[in-house]
Amino acid sequence: MADLLPILYQQMAEMTAPLCGSGSLECAQFCQKKYRCCEKQYCEATAKFAREKYGVELQPTGNPDLPFMGEHGCTVAPHLRPICTLHVCSISWAAKSSIENDEQKTKAYFDLRDRILAEARREGKMFE
């Protein structure tokens, strides 16, 4: 049986990618940055998580500010960067968490997030 977490995290990455830098009010505070809300501290947490939970040593890209940022975005697989994959500004920073003010999309996000977190707990691959 295939490892379910990579599949679920990939689904989440595909769901949230169009929202990143979409111009929503919550993202506006980051619009002057090329990679929006990415920060070096999350790269460091990602490297630690990948090493401790998967035994993977991530290879930096040479980017001086964001070690795993490549020409076309983050080079780390979604399941190895759970904090980043699950982040959506309109969920994290909004007064009322939602995906594009759409109840169905918001429910789909939370349902998938709940599945991911339950599976991560089951597999012992929760992030801190």
pLDDT by residue (tens digit) across 17-35? Answer: 887 766 666 566 666 666 6
38 within domain boundaries: yes
128 within domain boundaries: no
Distance in angstroms (rounded) separating the CA atoms of residues 80 and 5: 10
72 within domain boundaries: yes
User: Is 102 buried (19+), middle (13-18) or exposed (0-12) by CB count in 10 A?
Assistant: exposed
Q: Residue 19 is which amino acid?
A: L
Residue 46: domain span:
4-123
Q: Is the pLDDT of residue 124 over 70?
A: yes
Count the domains in the chain: 1
Distance in angstroms (rounded) separating the CA atoms of residues 106 and 5: 20
Tokens of residue 79, six digits: 């399941």
110 within domain boundaries: yes
Which pLDDT belongs to residue 102? 83
